[in-house]
Amino acid sequence: MRNIVVIGFMAAGKTAVGCAIAARLGWDFCDTDDLIVRRVGKPVRAIFADYGEPRFRELERDVVREAATRRNTVIACGGGAPLDEENATVLRAGGTIVWLQADLAATLKRLGEAKNRPLLKDDPAGRAASLMEARHPRYQALADIIVDTSAQPVEAVTRETLGRLAARERRSVPVALAEGGYEIHVGDGTLPLVGLDLVSRGIHRVALVTHPLLWRHYGSSLAVALARWGVEVHPISIPPGERSKSLRALAGIYDALVEARIDRGGAVLALGGGVVGDVAGFAAATYLRGIALFQLPTTLLAQVDASIGGKTAVNLAAKNLVGVFWQPLAVHADVRTLATLPGRELRCGLAEAIKHAAIADAALFDWTASSLGLVARRDTPTLAELVARNAAIKAEIVASDERESTGAREMLNFGHTIGHAVEAVAGYRGISHGEAVAVGMSLEAEIGVRLGLTPAEDAVRLRQTLAEAGLPTRMPGGSAALVLDRMALDKKVRAGKWRFSLMGQLGAARSGVVVDPTLAEGVIKDMTEPTS
């Protein structure tokens, strides 16, 4: 989300509303008139009197250029600043422009005698009307958002502005369920808008579940922003990593929820990757027989997959052996959080993105393969496009089979039957979930080839794309026998038969495929790295 530039006629509320917006977002605020006053050491009326309007406009251009270089800033401009072409170009390039519009009657009432307004001296009403007539078309031409402040208090204008901003700055993907549904909001720098979502639902006390590093990067600033919305935040910290998906960690979250006095009017915010989303979601689903959950995924894997669909679980003898379906009220995927994501974790998220494309959208597969370089460079428009398109695939599949009762959702298991076993054999150390799924997809694509379901050239292309993304495509050496044993515990095994979801041709899936264990064993052994 870019800077927010507030424009409008004098007394429209630019400073008051701008300050309130900045407070809600946890951003900085600057007023270009104030910057000029500090630079010159004189009030605006004195600058006009001593140096004239042309000199004031020169100073204004300087401070507008300075303000536009800032990040995460709400910039309130003097009423005449947008009239200058240079100012308009600079402001448009660096921010979303909000025009606060007020009618003449409201403006004159707020101005009073207008003694400190050099442009209105001698005839405030007449001059104001004339200036409005000249300026309003310019404001309208520049504005991305227009909000009428004539009859609204500052708080109402602030909420309306942020609501309009949220609609503009986020791509919202609906998850349409039989009983209600929710939206996945994808944006760049939009995490502070979570507060708007909470207060619009009447939620004013939340538990923010995250781990210490994410608290430092994003959690503490989010808590400050939420407090300015009137939301009481109770942080709950869990260690990073798969080992936190345990009954012990779950019990600690329950204790913290009780201590924070979170009741059924409160909510759990899961700020983190798939582990945080799973364990915090399970806690929300079972505490007080279920309270509101908001997923705030901060890894690519969680943004494209794990935070969507309502699956929550902890591990026992096998991965995700104990869990429940519990849909969030919303998912807020802010791709700016991926800026601090380690490269390995980014690649792991790509594994799930490649999986979605491989089973559901051949065109997306082509686009993803061609965009790997931009993803690696953290190009935010590319990341936002990647997350939104993958979220749409996951949302459509979830909507068709919310609780895995019809079999449609099984297509998402491509790569996971073998992948989960690889993770478990490694003790959830040394190989990440995304890497394990990449191995699983490579081997399961070969199973599809040997069954005559998957074109050999498509399996080759899948492996090449995974390798270009920096992901493994072969089983770790020495693990084949252990993986085969572990696969027998997979929840997709029924009546002793191995059931796989496989890729047909690129962009198509085949679910519920019964595979002879001997065939699977042959592929696993053939595609295992040799031991040194």
Q: What is the CATH number of the domain that holds 290?
A: 3.40.50.1970
Q: Is 404 a catalytic residue?
A: yes
Q: Is residue 446 part of a domain?
A: yes
What SS3 class is residue 166?
helix
155 and 182 fall within a common domain: no
User: Shortest CA distance to 13 belongs to which of 58, 62, 74?
Assistant: 74
Out of 311, 341, 371, a domain closes at: 341
pLDDT in tens, the chain (532 residues): 889 999 999 889 999 999 999 999 999 999 999 999 999 999 988 998 899 989 999 999 999 999 999 999 999 999 999 999 999 999 999 899 999 999 999 988 888 755 567 677 767 788 888 898 999 999 999 999 999 999 999 999 999 999 999 999 999 999 999 888 999 999 999 999 999 999 999 999 999 999 999 999 999 999 999 999 999 999 999 999 888 999 999 999 999 999 999 999 999 999 999 999 999 999 999 999 999 999 999 999 999 999 999 999 998 877 788 999 999 999 999 999 999 999 999 999 999 999 999 999 999 999 999 999 999 999 999 999 999 999 999 999 999 988 877 778 889 999 999 998 998 888 878 898 899 999 999 999 999 999 999 999 999 999 999 999 999 999 988 888 899 888 876 656 666 678 899 999 999 999 889 998 889 999 999 999 887 6
Q: Is 336 a catalytic residue?
A: no
Residue 345 bridge partners (DSSP): none
Backbone angles phi, psi at 70, to 5 degrees: -75, 165
Residue the block writes with tokens 């490269």 = 343
CATH number at residue 109: 3.40.50.300
Q: Which domain holds residue 420?
A: 408-526
Q: Is residue 321 part of a domain?
A: yes
> Could you tell me the end-to-end alpha-carbon distance of the chain, in angstroms, rounded to an integer?
50
325 and 428 fall within a common domain: no
Contact in structure between 483 and 475 (CB atoms under 8 Å): yes
Q: Is 497 a catalytic residue?
A: no
Kindly tell me the burial class for residue 475, based on how many C-beta atoms sit within 10 Å of its own C-beta (0-12, 13-18, 19 or more).
Answer: buried
Q: Is residue 400 part of a domain?
A: no
Backbone angles phi, psi at 103, to 5 degrees: -75, 170
Residue 503 bridge partners (DSSP): 509
46 and 125 fall within a common domain: yes
Which residues neighbour 405 within 8 Å (Cβ) at sequence distance 6 or greater? none
Which of the following is catalytic: 211, 319, 389, 409? 409
User: Shortest CA distance to 355 belongs to which of 509, 242, 221, 216?
Assistant: 509
Q: Is 409 a catalytic residue?
A: yes
For residue 330, the surrounding DSSP H or E stretch is strand 330-334
Kindly tell me the burial class for residue 264, based on how many C-beta atoms sit within 10 Å of its own C-beta (0-12, 13-18, 19 or more).
Answer: exposed
Q: Is residue 392 part of a domain?
A: no
449 and 481 fall within a common domain: yes
Total structural domains within the chain? 3
Kindly tell me the burial class for residue 497, based on how many C-beta atoms sit within 10 Å of its own C-beta (0-12, 13-18, 19 or more).
Answer: exposed
Q: Is residue 381 part of a domain?
A: no
Which of the following is catalytic: 14, 135, 311, 347? 311
Which of the following is catalytic: 232, 396, 404, 529? 404
177 and 141 fall within a common domain: no
Q: Is 491 a catalytic residue?
A: no
Residue 28 bridge partners (DSSP): 73
Q: Is residue 57 part of a domain?
A: yes
330 and 197 fall within a common domain: yes
- HSE on the CB side for 182, CA within 13 Å? 22
Note the pLDDT tens digit of each residue in 91-124: 999 899 999 999 999 988 888 755 567 677 767 7
What SS3 class is residue 30?
strand
Out of 144, 167, 190, a domain closes at: 167
Alpha-carbon distance of 426 to 353, in angstroms, equals 23
Q: Is 352 a catalytic residue?
A: yes
CATH number at residue 457: 1.20.1090.10
Quick one: CA dihedral 115, 116, 117, 121, positive or negative? positive
Which of the following is catalytic: 60, 345, 352, 410? 352
Residue the block writes with tokens 């993105």 = 353
Residue 330 bridge partners (DSSP): 183, 294
**Given this model, what pLDDT does residue 114 score?**
54
Which of the following is catalytic: 135, 171, 416, 463? 416
- CA dist 390 → 173, 305, 340 (Å): 10, 8, 21
Alpha-carbon distance of 261 to 54, in angstroms, equals 60
101 and 175 fall within a common domain: no
Q: Taking each helix axis from N to C terminus, what angle separates 154-169 and 14-25, rounded to the nearest 10 degrees?
A: 60
- CA dist 59 → 32, 51, 77, 205, 406 (Å): 10, 11, 13, 46, 67
Q: What single-letter amino acid sits at 246? A: S
Which of the following is catalytic: 3, 87, 315, 413? 413
7 and 55 fall within a common domain: yes
Q: Is 529 a catalytic residue?
A: no
Alpha-carbon distance of 69 to 292, in angstroms, equals 39
Alpha-carbon distance of 452 to 456, in angstroms, equals 9
What SS3 class is residue 185?
strand
Residue 229 token pair: 């919305």
- HSE on the CB side for 369, CA within 13 Å? 17
In the sheet that holds 3-7, the strands lie side by side as: 28-31, 73-76, 3-7, 95-101, 145-148
**Given this model, what pLDDT does residue 316 score?**
86
Q: Is 433 a catalytic residue?
A: yes
Note the pLDDT tens digit of each residue in 205-224: 999 999 999 999 999 999 99
Alpha-carbon distance of 504 to 41, in angstroms, equals 72
Alpha-carbon distance of 9 to 79, in angstroms, equals 5
Q: Is residue 304 part of a domain?
A: yes
233 and 296 fall within a common domain: yes
Alpha-carbon distance of 251 to 248, in angstroms, equals 5
Residue 139 token pair: 């404001």
Which of the following is catalytic: 347, 356, 394, 510? 394
Residue 93 token pair: 């390039």
283 and 333 fall within a common domain: yes
97 and 215 fall within a common domain: no
Kind of pairing, strands 28-31 and 3-7? unpaired
Kindly tell me the burial class for residue 392, based on how many C-beta atoms sit within 10 Å of its own C-beta (0-12, 13-18, 19 or more).
Answer: buried
Cα 391 to its chain centre, rounded Å, is 11
Query: How much is the pTM?
Result: 0.90
**Given this model, what pLDDT does residue 491 score?**
56
Alpha-carbon distance of 370 to 499, in angstroms, equals 32
Kind of pairing, strands 171-176 and 181-187? antiparallel
Q: Is 58 a catalytic residue?
A: no
**Given this model, what pLDDT does residue 357 score?**
98
User: Shortest CA distance to 173 belongs to which of 396, 484, 471?
Assistant: 396
Q: Is 420 a catalytic residue?
A: yes
Kindly tell me the burial class for residue 432, based on how many C-beta atoms sit within 10 Å of its own C-beta (0-12, 13-18, 19 or more).
Answer: buried
Out of 291, 324, 341, a domain closes at: 341
Judged by phi (left if over 0) then psi (alpha if -120 to 50, else beta), residue 334 lies in: beta
Quick one: CA dihedral 322, 328, 334, 337, positive or negative? negative
Q: Is residue 377 part of a domain?
A: no
